[in-house]
Amino acid sequence: MSIRKYFEEELNALKLALVKMCRTTEEMIDGAIHALIMQDTVLAKNVIEMDPDVDAMELDIEKKCLRFMLRQAPVAKDFREVSTTLKLITDIERIGDQASDISELVVHLAERKCRYVKDLQHIERMGKLAVKMVHNSVDSFIRNDNDLAMETARLDDEMDELFNVVMDELIELIKKDSQNADQAIIFMMITKYLERIGDHAVNVCEWTEYNETGVHQKY
Amino acid sequence: MTKKMLWRTFLIALLAAVIVLAAGIGVISFQASNTQKRELEVDANLIAQLWDGDVASLETLRPHADLRITVINISDGEVIYDNTAEVDEEHLTRPEVQAALNGQPQAFVRWSETMECTMYYYAVRYGEEQVLRVAVRQSAVTDYVLSLLPFTVLALGLALLISYLVANRSSRAVTQPVKDIQLSLRSLNQGSYVPLRCDSSNPELYAVMTETDELFSKVNENLKKLQDSRARLSFVLDNVSQSIVAFDRDGTVTLINRAAMSLFGVNSSALGQNLLYLIEDNKLSRKISQVLDGGGDQHFEYELRDHPLNVDLIDVAKYEADVKMIMILTDLSAEKLAIRQRSDFFANAGHELKTPLTSLQGMSELLLEKEPADSPNRKYVERIHKETVRLNDLILDMLKLSSLEQASADEAVQAVQLSAVFQDISAEFAGQMEQKGIAYTQTGEGKIFADPKKIYTCCENLFSNAVRYNKQGGRVEVVIENFPQSVRFSVRDTGIGIEQKHIPRLCERFYRVDKSRSKNTGGTGLGLAIVKHVCQIYDAKLTIVSAPDEGTTVSVTFKK
């Protein structure tokens, strides 16, 4: 095998591991939201159990990246790809943590066996949006698609808007009846986690842009 | 190869020529020196015999000008005469002189300081007093060789030329077939096979070429066949409506048909890529990974981006070496649409029938009120009223069923306390139970997440069956059980029971165990169909255990 081919294969394996990690976190977010809606403690606990997997994947990719840098001493585009991967996994791992945190709150809610004080329409939309953002951001890196990255970063505005809407709703709920406060606070935290996931996805998009252009800038 | 062979032959020819030349020169010079020595001996002896002892007469005895004659006095070694130069040196110690003195005259080769050239010396004793020495220049030997040189160069050149031509020819005779084989091999590789021309004069090479040609033709034929069958296969695969993808052990896509490409929104570049790039849905790709890891075949229904699909993951490692698994996806959209249209029709027809029926029911009630109890027509009106109510029930059940068919598991979900549901239902049926003298018991409790309305409908149907088909003075038992992974409720009656052969068909719409009995007990024939649909929605398991004349137990198991 030629050296370059070996090199490319190592890089491809790295990307594949990244995609796998990303898909797992997507499933975690999706599962967390689904568990919230269905009050499904089993699903929520499944999601929590997936978090160590994501952590292990991060460690594995990190090790692979460092070894690749050490052994192959990549330059230019190759260097950017490896360094970007190294940065991306931190964000993706954080996303996994948030999804796990949401699931813990879901378990907390479901164990009280109570009816939700609020309809979950907006939170569900935020969850779908978060999955889409995470998916598209990593996809844009894998496919070297800068336009997709920019488009995904812009989705964060919608996420922020939804966050504000849900926050207003929750404030209203608490004002109406202080009995709602304990659930409202949990919903608030879930919403905040989802909003943070959106921010992490934007980070991924920024790194994708760096990978393409060599310039790292904050949106 | 040709170059190497040429050089080798050339060098060998050169080496041979040089060896022959050197040997020739050696032999010639050896012979020449021998001849010279012998001549010198003959000359010396001749002169010694002819000489009269007078130094002056020696000049006349010299057979040719090159000969040097020296006369040496034995007693003091003084040179008495030398025809070429004045020599003062003592000459007695010279080897040829010593040899002559010892009586064994011999020729010697030596560098002469006097003449400044290599010379042959030979001496003979002349009388008691003197030694006669004769010498001749050796340069005559090299003259021989020099005179031979043009011929040897010519011969050498000729030899090299011939060796070059021969080498060229013979090397080409070996390399040409190899080159032909190479060209043929290249054409085979590029897919347009040119048959090999077998024309070597060398029998071994000819045999190799014919064998090679045979092999190549066979390979070419098989390649063609393979390509044809592959083309046929892809033609078939591309024109089926199912999406077919094959993966190897690492999860790399080795085959993908057109339907699959359009389903996943990729082009043929997906070939050779990992399944993660093809299938963005993590649950599906994880299931595929399970099969790839040797988890065995899987068949399930799955909704991928709003496409209802039937997924078959088949492990084919035992049939194929490079393909580990094939995935066949069948689009169920059309099927689901047909079911939807059918239930839409049910719903619409039901609604349309309900309006006139409601007025019929109202009118018949009115008639019943107005008709005196002893009127002969009352019987008919009562019959009309009863049938209208039955028809109404039937239509209500049909509507319920069609709404259940369109329902999904996510709708209006909340925690449902099963014990509370059964308490409500038993209260509803209290009148009927009292009429038949049925005792009711309920044990346990459990919580499930579902739409309470659907659960109520399901339980109500089971309960009404338990009451309806019970014997006078029988019993109805409801047991709710909690398991680690599931919640189960069972409705048990002590009724007439059902024969084993009817059980598999019980949940079909309008299926009746006993056609004649239905009219007596009421019911629409849709009850269990409704129960089955609710179970399907929540992925619950429905089991019916029954023995004729002993009773029936219907259990529903919900996953937690």
Residue of A nearest to B451 (CA): A38
Sign of torsion, CA A59 A62 A68 A71?
Answer: negative
For chain B, which residues make up each domain, given as ranges?
2-143, 240-331, 333-406, 407-559
Rounded to whole angstroms, how far apart are CA atoms A110 and A183?
11
Question: Which residues of chain A neighbour B282 with C-beta distances below 8 Å?
Answer: 23-24, 26-27
In chain A, residues with a C-beta closer than 8 Å to the C-beta of B276 are 16, 19-20, 23
Angle between helices A3-38 and B282-292 in degrees, nearest 10: 120
Give the DSSP letter string of B264-280.
HT--GGGTTSBHHHH--
C-alpha to C-alpha distance for A203 and A98, rounded to whole angstroms? 15
- State how far the Cα of B560 lies from the Cα of B130, in Å rounded to an integer: 145
Query: Please, which pLDDT band fits residue B520 given cuts at 50, 70 and 90?
Result: low
Which pLDDT score, from 0 to 100, does residue B519 have? Answer: 53
pLDDT at site B140? 55
B475-482, strands of its sheet edge to edge: B439-443, B475-482, B486-493, B551-559, B541-547
Residues of A in contact with B283 (CB under 8 A): 27
Average pLDDT along chain B: 83
Q: Residue A22: closest CA among chain B residues belongs to which residue?
A: B282
Q: With beta carbons less than 8 A apart as the criterion, state whether B402 and B344 touch.
A: yes
- Taking CB atoms and an 8 Å cutoff, what residues of chain B touch A26? 282
CATH architecture of the region B333-406: Orthogonal Bundle (1.10)
pLDDT of residue B515: 65
Beta strands (DSSP E) in B385-530 are: 414-417, 439-443, 447-450, 475-482, 486-493
Average pLDDT, chain A: 88
B407-559 belongs to which homologous superfamily?
A: Histidine kinase-like ATPase, C-terminal domain (3.30.565.10)
Please write the tens of the pLDDT for every residue from A12-32: 888 889 988 998 999 999 999
Exposure letters B360-393 (e unless 16+ CB within 10 A, then b): bbeebeebeeebeeeeeeeeebeebbeebeebbe
Fold topology of B240-331: Beta-Lactamase (3.30.450)
Of A23, A26, A39, nearest to B449 by CB-CB distance is A39
How far apart are the C-alpha atoms of B478 and B309, rounded to whole Å? 38
Q: What is the largest CA-CA distance in chain A?
A: 71
Q: Give the E-state strand segments of B188-323 in sequence order.
A: 243-247, 253-256, 298-304, 307-315
CB < 8 Å to B280, chain A:
23, 135, 139
Q: Which domains does chain A have, with CATH numbers?
A: 3-213 (1.20.58.220)
Position B45 pLDDT exceeds 90: no
Of all residues in chain B, the percent with pLDDT exceeding 70 is 96
Q: Average pLDDT, stretch B295-313?
A: 85
pLDDT tens-digit map of B11-25: 888 888 788 878 887
Whether B2-143 and B240-331 share one fold: the answer is yes
Handedness of CA A72, A74, A80, A83 (dihedral sign): positive
pLDDT at B101: 80
CB nearest A38 (choices: B276, B285, B449): B449
Rounded to whole angstroms, what are the CA distances from B454 to B295, B399, B405, B462, B491? Answer: 36, 13, 12, 13, 17
Q: Looking at this predicted complex, what is its ipTM?
A: 0.71
Does the pLDDT of residue B445 top 90, yes or no? no
pLDDT band at residue B198 under the 50/70/90 scheme: confident
Q: How far apart are CA B78 and CA B88, in angstroms?
A: 7
Give the nearest partner residue to B282 out of A24, A113, A115, using CB atoms: A24
Fold of B2-143: Beta-Lactamase (3.30.450)
| Contact between chains at B560 and A42 (C-beta distance less than 8 A) | yes
Q: Best mutation site among B275, B282, B306, B537 for testing chain A: the one with the most A CBs within 10 Å?
A: B282
Highest mean pLDDT among A99-108, B295-304, B397-406 belongs to: A99-108
Q: Looking at the predicted structure, is the pLDDT value of residue A53 above 80?
A: yes
- Report the candidate in B264, B263, B256 with the shortest Cα–Cα distance to residue B238: B256
Query: Is A1 a residue whose pLDDT tops 60?
Result: no
* pTM score above 0.80: no
